Amino acid sequence: MARDRLISTQRRGDDERVDTALRPRNLRELIGQRSLMERLHIAMEAAKGRGEPLEHILLDGPPGLGKTTLAHVIAKEMTGKGPRIASGPSLAKQADLMALLTTLETGDVLFIDEIHRLPRIVEEFLYPAMEDFRVDFTIEGGMSGRVVNFALKRFTLIGATTRAGMLTGAMRDRFGHSFHFEFYTTEELTEILRGSSKRLGVESREGALSEIALRSRGTPRVANRLLKRVRDYAQVRADGVLTSVVVAKALEIQQVDDLGLDELDRAFLTALVRTYSGGPAGIEALAATMGQERDTLEDLVEPYLLQIGFVIRTRAGRQATLRGCAHLGLPFHEPAVAERGSVVAGIFRGSRVDQAELYSEENLGGDESGSAV
């Protein structure tokens, strides 16, 4: 089921083509991520002013928020051409990376996607390249390998990851800039959709695009995908023009609800409430109950449910909130056990913020062991 999700934030099927077709080409076309953009502008202007390449940049955030897009735009702005592209898993050995590094010209941008999946041996090989622009390459042969030191041109590495937590500290420290992507607001998504419909030649009436934006899980990739499905519906069942009513009908058929939740989100919350009395439940246990991979739940289901306050993460596991239960018409269970004597079960009727605070690291203390989270 996960792979076929209409609202999956992950790339699928023809997304590659759509992503490319609808991808903003320059900084002006990029919408949202304001604080990130401001810091990036300053860094780029400063580097340009000094006539130097940009320092290495780490981009992290959930899938579909624009990391690859931004890497392309940065390369274009700084060098007038696209980045050299590689991905963590594709760089299996030192020689793979070596082949890329030695062909880079001064100022070139090397983009490594999924950088948290670089094999350790390649990662360590990358350190001196990032820091001192040189590599110690081992040439195999004879009894033992011969180590040759190569000087590299001064390049900019842009690393992207959906799992910043999985990066080693050593890797993270070698980036001069670290930019975190946030989910987009409905207004920002509406604007992105306006641009996309123009490019796709889709006509829409007032309010239609914001209806799509509301169901897009804060994610431009999802927004663009929904737009295409709504366009199909409008073409076949209406006169081709998008209206709020057409959007609502089209997405109802696709079983995407008014908050952008689909079957998999509902299954997650239902399992949490029905099987684990609302939680706390460990992610492994939930994955087993649902017959899903843990990674699928962590990458594609949880981030948005956490974002909208339908689920909270505690040291003991995942917990359904009153809001989440109310949305799906599920019974709300008071959390059974407060982890600390001072935290009293029953004061959970508050807002999402109250609940988040209740379970913050600070309030829970740092000494619990055997966390199931």
Ligand X SMILES: Nc1ncnc2c1ncn2[C@@H]1O[C@H](COP(=O)(O)OP(=O)(O)OP(=O)(O)O)[C@@H](O)[C@H]1O
Q: Which residues are catalytic?
A: 67-68, 113, 162, 221
216: phi then psi, degrees, rounded to nearest 5: -100, 10
Give the nearer residue to ligand X in terms of CB position, either 96 or 182: 182
Taking residues 31 to 70 in sequence order and writing x for each that binds Mg ion by CB under 5 A, - otherwise, the string is: ------------------------------------xx--
Q: Does 8 bind Mg ion (CB under 5 A)?
A: no
Complex with ligand X: residue 14 or 105, whichever CB lies closer: 14
**What's the closest the beta carbon of residue 56 comes to Mg ion, in angstroms?**
17
CA distance linking residue 91 with residue 115, whole number of Å: 10
Pick from ligand X, Mg ion, none: which does 224 bind, CB < 5 to 8 A by kind? Answer: ligand X
Taking the least distance from each CB to ligand X, the nearer of 12 and 333 is 12
Asked if 114 contacts 85 with a C-beta cutoff of 8 angstroms, the reply is no
**Residue 282 — φ and ψ, nearest 5°?**
-70, 150
- Nearest-CB residue to ligand X? 66
Q: Which is nearer to ligand X, 14 or 258 (CB)?
A: 14
| C-alpha to C-alpha distance for 110 and 153, rounded to whole angstroms | 12
Residue 228 interface partner, choices Mg ion, ligand X, none, CB cut-off 5-8 Å depending on type: none
Task: State the virtual CA torsion across 204, 208, 210, 211 in degrees, nearest 10.
Answer: -150
Chain centre to alpha carbon of residue 12: 14
Please say whether the beta carbons of 187 and 67 come within 8 A. Answer: no
> Which CB atom, from 260 or from 278, has the smaller least distance to ligand X?
260
- Residue 22 near which of Mg ion, ligand X, none (CB within 5-8 Å, type-dependent): ligand X
Residues that bind ligand X (CB under 6 A): 10-11, 19, 22-24, 30-32, 63-69, 162, 192, 220-221, 224
Closest approach, Cβ 159 to Mg ion, in A, equals: 11
CB 75, min distance to ligand X, A? 13
Continuous segment of H or E residues that includes residue 303: helix 302-307
Nearest alpha carbon to residue 57 among 122, 99, 112, 126: 112
What is the size of the binding site for Mg ion (CB under 5 A)? 2
Instruction: Give the helix ranges, DSSP H, for 174-243.
Output: 186-200, 208-214, 220-237
69 binds, among ligand X, Mg ion, none (CB under 5 to 8 A by kind): ligand X
Amino acid at 139: I
